Every structure is written in C-alpha cells, then in structure tokens.
C-alpha cells in the first residue's frame, strides 16, 4: 500500500510537466461541474454564480479535445445532449489528447444527470463555437439549448440560462439575422416573467432593446421598456446596458436631460475593463451635452485608452465651443464614416442649430451693439437672404433666453444688455443643489448595492469558513476583470 502511494506521488510531476495546460483545464472544468452540482443540490444560487465566473477564466484555454473529454465525463454517452454537443466539436484534434484527457471518460463512472450540468455543457460548447468563429453552428447549438431550457423550471438554472440567452442573441447578431429571433425573445421574456426569473427578465429585456435599436425601432423599444415589469437590478452589467439603451432612446425622443443622466450613470457604473462599452457611453453623452448647450471638460476626452476613439468628438466639441459653422461642417464631413458607424449622424445634424446659437452668444457678449448684416457674416450664413435669417435666429434666441438682447428693427441692430452679477441670481444655488443631489443619489445606490451573506447576523463564522470565504474573495478579485470584459 505504501509503495503504491509512493509510485503515484512520483508519477505526478512527470505527468504535469509533459502536459500541463490541457489536464489543468479539464480538471478545472470538473471542479466547476462539482461546484454546480453542490449548488444545485443545496439550492444555493451563489455557487452557480461563482461557477460561471470561474468558467470565464477558462474561456481562452478551451480546446476541442478538452471539451470532448469533459462531455464524456459530465454526460451519459448515447444521451440526446451528448450526441448533439459532440456533433459540433471537430474530430481532427483527437490526436492532441493526452493521457489525462483520454482516460477521463473511463474515470467518470458516475454521470451527472442534473439539468444544470447539461445546460453548462451547452454553454461551454456555444462559447467555444463563437470563439472559433463558427457562427452557423453556434446558431444551431444556441437554438437547441434554448429549446431545452424551455422545459426546465429551476431557480438554480437561472444564472446559466441568462448567459445562454446572451450568447443566443449574440450568435444571431454576428450573422446579421437578429430579426429572426425577436419573437422567440419576446416569448422567452414572457416565460421568465411567469417563472419569476428576474435575472432572465433583465437579460432578455436588454436583448430585446438591443434588437429593436439595431433596426432603429425606437418607438417599439420605448413601448416595451415602459410596459416591462420593474424590479431591483440583480446584475450590474445588465443594469449598465439598460441605462445605455435608455439613454439612446431618450436622446432620439429629444429628452436630453434624462438621456444625459442615464448615459453618464452607465459610463460611471461600467467596469474599467469594459472599455468599448464606456467609449460608446461617452460618445453619446458628449453629443447629448452638446445638444444641451454644455461643453464637456477636456478630461473627458483624455481618459486612459479612449483618446484616439474620442478624437473626432473632441474636434466636434471644439467647433461647437467656438461657434464656427464652417469648421463644424468640415469636421462633420471629415469624420462622416465614424459618425455613421456610431449611428450618430442624425444627432450631428441637430447640432448645427447649437453651433449657430453658441456663435450668437459669443457675439452678444463681445458687442453691445452690432448690425444684423455683421451677425450674418460672423455666423457665416450661406443662405439667399442672410440678414433676414440672422434676424429670425436672433429673435428665436432672445425668446428662448439664450441671449439677453433686443432687436432694433429700424436700424437693423442687435443691442446686447449688460451682464449682471451671476451671484445675485439663483444659479449658484441651483448648481450646488444639483451637486448635493448627485452625491446623495450615489450614496443611496451604494447602500442598496451592499450584499451580505444569508443569516450572517445569526451564525458566528468559524475559522474554516472564514478561510474559505477569503479564498473565494481572492479568486473573485482575480478573475472579475476578465469576466466583466467578456460581459461587455
């Protein structure tokens, strides 16, 4: 007995040196499956959440041989799920299987028949197919997984099903066929609502909003958003997406104040690793602030990793700040392809009026009296009757309160009034109130986001449980960046 133990211990180093990557990946997958199994039997959703987080770490290490071995370990050979998932994996990589991978099927004598394990296998194969850019097969696999999900009503599956919903929509988006699954997404959202699957509702609502906005169906997106059931957010990533889509809808509907708040909140709540998402939020937030008559600070454009992506919007902001209509037209033409890819062309057209208004405000500050013909020249109006257009623009700006001036129609002048002391008005009080309200809202949201383990006030934590909890927290801190980057 002692000799056998010594022989096994001596074989371990040579085995790990000869083939390190695949056995470790396979063993990690087995550990994750055991964690899911424990969570399913104990009905602890937090274990399933942890298993999904650990899976993201292994995404770049997944290989066909590893997945084949894991499927043989987790599923019963000859079962429907086993045969379907095996058909998606290539067979040419079988010669790469090492000793541990090849013998895994023989070692896994006890097969897992839990629905959670089956859905987890679907998720692994789907992620592998998308990473390998086999999008048509990914569509078929995702459709099969959704059909299987419809027959499962367990709260421990909700976390895995929300990830499947995301990749289901993503696989169809990669093949430019999002419109095909809109009816299925609506049916899934209705099913999740009836089952009280709040995480699934969050995910599916965002997928439906993305589906509508992809085809510029803003009215339908707003109708769905306004009538969908509301509850406390369960996922920070899904809440950030919801705020971003809400900001886009509000922008198109000319509700710029609400749109600005939603977009800035989405950019602030998004994780640092989700750089692409934060860039999109900042692009739309910049345009909305310009439409509101505000000029974003230079630090917005100088954020780490965003300077190059935001450079067209920096030049656009500079043109609006100066109030130069010719420069604005030049920038809009120069970066027209960028604005088209960002789907912000219509918003850029709206900014022309703001450029004229900004230039007019600068003129009213600089001159106490100026002729309307000079106003037209300084604004570079290229119409047939620039003086008449300048007069109508000045009159509208006076009516809207953009400038404090009067028009002398007889002499054709614009007379600007002297600017008073701003501290004698209510503007400082309004500014301080908005800042205090912002800080209070952030504090309230932080308090709401606090999470505590169940029954923590009743049970005293033992040393072993404390070590396990600290180990879980360290693993979570290590892999959270990769998980958030994948989510966005």
For residues 194-213, one letter each, b for 16 or more C-beta atoms within 10 angstroms of the residue's C-beta and e for the rest, the string is ebebbbbbbbbbbbbbbbbb
Sign of the alpha-carbon torsion through 416, 421, 427, 432: positive
Report pLDDT for 196: 84
Indicate the pTM of the whole model.
0.76
Q: How many CB atoms lie within 10 A of CB 309?
A: 19
291-330 pLDDT, tens digit each: 888 888 888 888 888 888 889 999 888 888 888 788 888 8
Average pLDDT over the chain, rounded to an integer:
78
Task: Answer yes or no: is pLDDT of 112 > 90.
Answer: no
250-301 pLDDT, tens digit each: 999 888 888 898 899 888 888 888 888 899 999 999 999 988 888 888 888 8
Quick one: what percent of the chain has pLDDT higher than 70? 84
* 117-126, 176-185, 359-368, 442-451: least confidently modelled range: 359-368
Q: What is the DSSP letter of 459?
A: S
- Other beta carbons within 10 Å of 115: 19
Confidence of residue 210 (pLDDT cuts 50, 70, 90): very high
Instruction: State pLDDT tens for residues 452-469.
Output: 666 555 555 567 777 777
CA–CA distance, 274 with 236 (Å, rounded to integer): 12
pLDDT exceeds cutoff 90 at 34: no
- pLDDT category of residue 486 using cuts at 50, 70 and 90: low
More confident residue, 9 or 80: 80
What string of DSSP letters covers 246-303? HHHHHHHTT-HHHHHHHHHHHHHHS-TT-HHHHHHHHHHHHHHHHHTT----HHHHT-
pLDDT given for residue 10 in this prediction: 38
Residue 458: its pLDDT value, please?
A: 53
């Amino acid at each position: 007995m002692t000799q056998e133990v010594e022989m096994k211990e001596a074989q371990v180093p040579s085995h790990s040196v000869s083939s390190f990557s695949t056995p470790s990946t396979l063993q990690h997958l087995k550990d994750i499956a055991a964690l899911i199994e424990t969570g399913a039997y104990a009905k602890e959703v937090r274990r399933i959440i942890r298993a999904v987080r650990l899976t993201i770490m292994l995404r770049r290490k997944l290989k066909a041989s590893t997945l084949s071995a894991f499927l043989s370990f987790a599923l019963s050979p000859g079962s429907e799920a086993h045969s379907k998932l095996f058909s998606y994996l290539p067979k040419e990589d079988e010669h790469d299987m090492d000793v541990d991978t090849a013998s895994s099927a023989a070692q896994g004598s006890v097969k897992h028949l839990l629905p959670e394990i089956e859905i987890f296998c679907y998720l692994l194969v789907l992620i592998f197919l998308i990473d390998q850019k086999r999008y048509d097969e990914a569509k078929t696999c995702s459709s099969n997984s959704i059909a299987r999900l419809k027959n499962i009503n367990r709260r421990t599956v909700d976390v895995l099903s929300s990830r499947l919903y995301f990749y289901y929509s993503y696989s169809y988006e990669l093949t430019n066929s999002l419109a095909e699954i809109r009816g299925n997404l609506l049916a899934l959202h209705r099913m999740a609502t009836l089952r009280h699957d709040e995480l699934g509702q969050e995910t599916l609502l965002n997928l439906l909003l993305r589906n509508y906005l992809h085809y510029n169906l803003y009215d339908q997106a707003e109708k769905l958003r306004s009538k969908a059931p509301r509850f406390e957010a369960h996922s920070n990533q899904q809440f950030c997406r919801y705020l971003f889509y809400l900001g886009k809808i509000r922008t198109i509907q000319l509700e710029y104040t609400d749109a600005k708040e939603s977009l800035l909140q989405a950019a602030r709540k998004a994780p640092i690793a989700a750089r692409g998402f934060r860039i999109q939020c900042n692009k739309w937030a910049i345009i909305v602030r310009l439409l509101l008559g505000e000029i974003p600070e230079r630090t917005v454009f100088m954020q780490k990793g965003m300077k190059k992506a935001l450079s067209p919007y920096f030049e656009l902001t500079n043109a609006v700040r100066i109030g130069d209509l010719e420069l604005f037209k030049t920038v809009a033409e120069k970066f027209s392809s960028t604005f088209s890819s960002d789907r912000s062309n219509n918003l850029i057209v709206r900014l022309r009026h703001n450029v004229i208004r900004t230039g007019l405000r600068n003129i009213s500050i600089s001159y106490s009296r100026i002729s309307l013909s000079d106003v037209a020249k300084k604004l570079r109006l290229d119409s047939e009757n620039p003086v008449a257009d300048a007069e109508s623009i000045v009159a509208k700006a006076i009516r809207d309160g953009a400038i404090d001036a009067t028009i002398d129609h007889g002499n054709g002048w614009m007379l600007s009034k002297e600017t008073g002391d701003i501290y004698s008005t209510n503007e400082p009080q309004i500014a301080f109130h908005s800042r205090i309200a912002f800080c209070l809202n952030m504090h309230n949201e932080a308090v709401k986001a606090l999470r505590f383990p169940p029954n923590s006030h009743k049970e005293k934590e033992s040393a072993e449980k404390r070590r396990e909890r600290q180990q879980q927290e360290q693993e979570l801190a290590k892999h959270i960046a990769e998980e958030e980057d994948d989510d966005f």
